[in-house]
């Protein structure tokens, strides 16, 4: 289910990009309008899967039912990350992790606005961005093999092309060794791309589902802290929680109020009464 959702979303994105890219400006806007709600809907599917629900395939398009909130959230996040990236790459990466919980918050809070969801995500990720970054690095290890294969292929291709460029005789044909090296380098680069695509079929759904579990853990932890703080505050303000004695024992009360009212009034003695 998770892999099928990823493949379907990738096909939709690829076909739409191929068609709309031929339409200047308007096509780019239309592609952006498609990408935002679609990406949010896919995130919601993986959140449902992480919670052991059984979402249907059509649920990946649920972001279009709330187009205003989902598209605005995607647009604002894209703008914010772009502006932060203008400073340096690192601030952009940090903010990417700060806004990473926004789409999940939109699903769990149907009445929250896009901007409030972004703000809530920033608050939830305070002190936890490093943890999510470490989680992301564990998935990056899957791509070490295709990255290494791609680098080797690139070196071979550039080496073959360099040997052709520096040929002493311009009329000399490309040597068989240089041609073979160049062709072999391109094959390695193609193989690296195919390996990366195959790994992504498993790793991308696994990554997004893991981030969804990370979100549920953060939410549960924040709720637990809130409940604990609430209990502490209630115990501090509860006047009856200090001792088992009378809570008014050490208080000074005005006349007519408090414990003094429980005493029986003294009856005046008659002077003629016999002793």
DSSP secondary structure letters along 123-167? HHTTTTHHHHHHHHHHHHGGGHHHHHHHHHHHHHHHHHHHHHHT-
Tell me: pLDDT of 160 over 90. Answer: no
Q: Is 212 exposed, middle or buried (0-12, 13-18, 19+ CB in 10 A)?
A: buried
pLDDT at 174: 56
Q: What is the pLDDT of residues 3-12, one digit of tens each?
A: 999 999 999 9
Tell me: pLDDT of 54 over 60. Answer: yes
Task: Name the average pLDDT for the chain.
Answer: 80
- What does the DSSP 8-state code read for residue 204? H
Residues 164, 183 contacting (CB under 8 angstroms): no
Q: Which of 4-18, 63-77, 157-171, 241-255 has the weakest average pLDDT?
A: 241-255
Per-residue pLDDT band for 242 (boundaries 50, 70, 90) equals very low
pLDDT at 20: 84
Q: Single out the residue of 83, 75, 79, 47 nearest to residue 62, CA to CA.
A: 47
Tell me: pLDDT of 202 over 80. Answer: yes
Does this model's pTM top 0.75? My answer is no
Question: Rounded distance, CA 218 to CA 126, Å?
Answer: 10
What is the distance, to the nearest Å, from the Cα of residue 46 to the centroid of all Cα atoms in its chain? Answer: 12
- What does the DSSP 8-state code read for residue 240? G
Question: Rounded distance, CA 196 to CA 187, Å?
Answer: 14
Residue boundaries of the structural domains of the chain: 2-126, 139-237
Question: Rounded distance, CA 275 to CA 273, Å?
Answer: 6
What is the distance, to the nearest Å, from the Cα of residue 30 to the centroid of all Cα atoms in its chain? Answer: 25
Crossing angle between the packed helical segments 26-50 and 2-20, to the nearest 10 degrees: 180
pLDDT at 18: 86
Question: Rounded distance, CA 61 to CA 198, Å?
Answer: 24
Tell me: pLDDT of 254 over 90. Answer: no
């Amino acid at each position: 289910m998770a892999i099928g959702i990823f493949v379907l979303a990738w096909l939709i994105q690829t076909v739409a990009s191929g068609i709309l890219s031929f339409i200047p400006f308007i096509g780019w806007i239309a592609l952006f309008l498609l990408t935002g709600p679609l990406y949010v809907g896919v995130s919601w599917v993986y959140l449902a899967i992480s919670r052991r629900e059984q979402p249907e395939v059509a649920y990946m398009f649920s972001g279009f039912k709330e187009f205003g909130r989902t598209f605005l959230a995607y647009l604002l996040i894209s703008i914010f990350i772009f502006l932060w990236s203008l400073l340096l790459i690192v601030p952009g990466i940090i903010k990417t992790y700060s806004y990473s919980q926004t789409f999940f918050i939109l699903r769990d809070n149907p009445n929250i606005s896009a901007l409030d969801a972004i703000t809530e995500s920033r608050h939830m990720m305070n002190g936890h961005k490093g943890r999510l970054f470490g989680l992301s690095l564990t998935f990056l290890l899957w791509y070490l093999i295709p990255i290494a294969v791609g680098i080797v292929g690139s070196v071979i291709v550039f080496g073959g092309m360099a040997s052709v460029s520096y040929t002493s005789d311009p009329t000399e044909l490309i040597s068989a060794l240089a041609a073979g090296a160049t062709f072999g380098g391109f094959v390695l680069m193609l193989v690296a791309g195919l390996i990366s695509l195959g790994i992504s079929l498993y790793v991308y759904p696994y990554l997004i589902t893991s981030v969804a579990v990370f979100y549920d853990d953060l939410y549960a932890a924040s709720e637990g802290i809130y409940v604990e703080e609430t209990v502490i505050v209630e115990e501090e303000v509860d006047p009856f929680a200090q001792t088992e004695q009378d809570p008014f024992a050490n208080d000074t009360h005005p006349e007519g109020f408090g414990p003094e009212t429980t005493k029986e009034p003294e009856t005046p003695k008659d002077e003629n009464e016999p002793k």
